[in-house]
C-alpha cells in the first residue's frame, strides 16, 4: 500500500516539532498478519485468559520461552496496586503513595491493579495473565478526579510520582492516566525521567469522539503516546488521534477488575489505559532479552518492528509507527537498536541528570511502607500481602459490559480533571 492510498501522515519522527499534515490512517491491517503464520490456539471459554486475545496473536507463549521480562521493573503510576490478588502475589515491590492519603497498595477503584496484572500478572487463581510475567511492579499511587473530590490530596502527586519513578530502580514508567492540562512541574518531572534513562509510556486518551483534545503526559515529547487497537488491528473510535500518537497496542475487549472490592472481573474496553500497560510489557520483554540496551535502543526497536503498511519513518496520526509486535525482535532478532544516546522520540541526545527540578516526592507526600522503613527506596523491597482482599481462586468474568465513559473515570471536576487513559 502506498502512502497515498493508506493516507499516512508524513511527519518527522522527532516529536519536538508537533505539526504536519493531519491526514489519518484507520488501521495497519489485521493482527493475524502481525507475525506471519500464526494460528491462535483454542482456549477455555470461561476464564479470564480466554478473554486476553492478544496473548495468542502476539505469540506470548513462544516469547516466554526466550524471556518473561525477568530483571525488569515497571513503575505503574495509577490508582494504587493491590499486591494481594492471586495474579500479583510476589510481583509487587515497595512503591510510593504520592496522594498523602493511604498506601500505594490501596487501590481505590481497581484500575491500577488491572494495569499491573496486564504487565506482570502470573495468571494464578484465574487472574489476568501479564505479557511480561517475569517483570516486577513498583506502584506509584496518584489520584483521579473523583478521589480528589473526596479527599484532601497532595496537589503535586503526579509530579511526585514521576520523580519517584525516575529515582527508583524501575527501567520503565507506565502511566495509564490522562489530563487535558499541561503543567510546568509535570513537564520538568518528565524531562527528569528521561535524563535518568527511563522509558516512559502513557495513554493518548479515550476522547477522540469527545473533542479529541491533546492529553498529558502522553503529549510531552519525551513520552511514548500509546493508542488502542482492536482484534482486527483497527484503532478504536474512542482512541485519540494526532501527533502525540507514537505506537498502537491492544486495548479493546480486555477484562478489568470491576471495582476496589476485587471480587470479579468485568468485560469491556480497556482503552488506551490497557494499551499502555501492554506496550510497557512489550518493552519489558525486549529489554529483558537485551539487558545492555538503553531505553532509546529498546524504543527504537519497538518502532522499527511495528506492523505498518507505509514507509519506515512516516507516522500515522492514528497508529504512530504502527501496531506493536515485540515478537519480531524476540523471536526473529529483527530491529536495529542504533545509537544508545539518541532518543528516537526527539532525535536528540538524552540529557544527563542535573538534579531534581521539583521537590522530591518524599518532601511533599508520604507513604507507609508495607515492609521495611518508610525511607526505603521504591523498588528495594517486596510487598508482603497480609490478606487476599477477597480475591479467591478461579475468578470468573462478571459479564458486565463497561462503556468507555466509565473506564475514563466518570465525572470531570476541580483540581486536575485527571482520569484513567
Task: Answer for the pair 407, 270: CB distance below 8 angstroms, yes or no.
Answer: yes
Task: Answer for the pair 52, 40: CB distance below 8 angstroms, yes or no.
Answer: no
DSSP β-bridge partners for residue 311: none
Cell numbers for 9, please give them. Answer: 501522515
Q: What share of the chain is helix, strand, coil (3-state, %, to 5)?
A: 25, 15, 60
Q: Answer yes or no: 273 catalytic.
A: yes
Q: Write out the H or E segment, with its range, that includes residue 419.
A: strand 418-420
Rounded Cα–Cα distance for residues 44 and 248 (Å) = 27
State the SS3 of 224-285: EEEEEECCCCEECCCCCCCCCCCEEEECCCCCEECCCCCCCEECCCCHHHHHHHHHHHHHHH
Task: Answer for the pair 380, 94: CB distance below 8 angstroms, yes or no.
Answer: yes
Rounded Cα–Cα distance for residues 251 and 204 (Å) = 12
Q: How many CB atoms lie within 10 A of CB 228?
A: 32
Cell numbers for 249, please give them. Answer: 497496542
Q: Answer yes or no: 4 catalytic.
A: no
Nearest to 194 by CA among 237, 158, 165: 165
Report which DSSP code applies to 124. G
Given 6, 84, 87, 273, the catalytic residue: 273
Q: Answer yes or no: 78 catalytic.
A: yes
Given 47, 56, 78, 230, the catalytic residue: 78
Task: Answer for the pair 43, 56: CB distance below 8 angstroms, yes or no.
Answer: yes
Beta strands in 67-218 (DSSP E): 73-78, 96-97, 136-141, 172-175, 177-179, 199-203
- Integer angstrom CA distances of residue 310 from 10, 306, 315: 10, 11, 8
Given 97, 111, 179, 239, the catalytic residue: 111
Rounded Cα–Cα distance for residues 339 and 1 (Å) = 30
Phi then psi for 115, rounded to 5 degrees?
-60, -40
Cell numbers for 54, please give them. Answer: 492478544
Q: Which residues contact 205 (CB under 8 A, 6 or more apart)?
A: 178, 213, 215, 218, 239, 240, 272, 421
DSSP β-bridge partners for residue 418: 179
Burial of 18 (C-beta count, 10 Å sphere; 0-12/13-18/19+)? middle
Active site residues: 78, 111, 273
Amino acid at each position: 500500500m502506498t502512502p497515498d492510498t493508506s493516507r499516512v501522515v508524513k511527519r518527522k519522527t522527532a516529536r519536538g516539532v508537533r505539526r504536519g499534515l493531519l491526514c489519518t490512517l484507520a488501521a495497519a491491517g489485521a493482527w493475524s498478519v502481525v507475525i506471519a503464520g500464526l494460528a491462535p490456539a483454542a482456549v477455555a471459554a470461561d476464564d479470564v485468559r480466554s478473554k486476553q486475545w492478544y496473548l495468542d496473536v502476539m505469540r506470548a507463549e513462544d516469547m516466554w520461552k526466550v524471556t518473561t521480562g525477568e530483571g525488569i521493573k515497571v513503575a505503574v503510576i495509577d490508582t494504587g496496586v493491590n499486591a494481594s490478588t492471586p495474579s500479583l502475589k510476589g510481583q509487587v515491590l515497595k512503591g510510593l503513595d504520592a496522594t498523602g492519603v493511604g498506601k500505594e497498595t490501596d487501590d481505590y477503584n481497581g484500575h491500577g491493579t488491572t494495569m499491573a496484572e496486564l504487565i506482570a500478572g502470573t495468571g494464578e487463581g484465574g487472574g489476568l495473565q501479564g505479557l511480561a510475567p517475569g517483570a516486577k511492579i513498583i506502584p506509584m499511587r496518584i489520584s483521579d478526579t473523583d478521589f480528589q473530590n473526596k479527599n484532601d490530596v497532595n496537589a503535586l502527586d503526579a509530579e511526585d510520582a514521576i520523580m519517584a519513578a525516575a529515582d527508583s530502580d524501575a527501567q520503565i514508567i507506565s502511566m495509564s492516566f490522562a489530563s487535558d492540562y499541561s503543567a510546568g512541574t509535570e513537564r520538568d518531572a518528565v524531562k527528569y525521567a528521561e535524563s535518568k534513562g527511563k522509558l516512559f509510556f502513557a495513554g493518548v486518551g479515550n476522547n477522540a469522539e469527545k473533542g479529541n483534545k491533546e492529553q498529558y503526559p502522553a503529549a510531552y515529547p519525551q513520552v511514548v503516546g500509546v493508542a488502542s487497537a482492536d482484534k482486527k488491528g483497527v484503532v478504536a473510535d474512542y482512541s485519540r488521534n494526532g501527533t502525540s500518537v507514537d505506537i498502537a497496542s491492544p486495548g479493546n475487549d480486555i477484562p478489568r477488575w470491576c471495582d476496589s472490592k476485587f471480587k470479579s472481573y468485568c468485560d469491556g474496553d480497556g482503552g488506551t489505559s490497557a494499551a499502555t500497560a501492554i506496550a510497557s510489557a512489550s518493552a519489558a520483554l525486549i529489554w529483558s532479552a537485551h539487558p545492555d540496551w538503553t531505553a532509546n535502543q529498546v524504543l527504537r526497536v519497538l518502532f522499527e518492528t511495528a506492523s505498518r503498511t507505509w514507509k519506515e519513518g512516516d507516522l500515522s496520526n492514528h497508529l504512530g509507527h504502527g501496531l506493536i509486535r515485540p515478537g519480531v525482535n524476540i523471536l526473529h532478532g529483527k530491529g536495529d537498536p542504533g545509537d544508545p544516546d539518541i532518543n528516537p522520540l526527539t532525535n536528540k541526545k538524552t540529557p544527563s541528570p542535573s538534579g531534581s527540578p521539583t521537590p522530591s516526592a518524599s518532601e511533599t507526600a508520604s507513604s507507609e511502607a508495607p515492609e521495611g522503613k518508610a525511607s526505603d527506596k521504591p523498588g528495594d523491597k517486596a510487598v508482603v500481602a497480609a490478606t487476599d482482599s477477597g480475591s479467591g481462586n478461579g475468578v470468573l468474568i462478571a459479564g458486565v459490559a463497561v462503556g468507555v465513559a466509565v473506564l475514563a473515570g466518570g465525572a470531570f471536576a476541580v483540581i486536575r480533571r485527571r482520569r484513567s487513559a
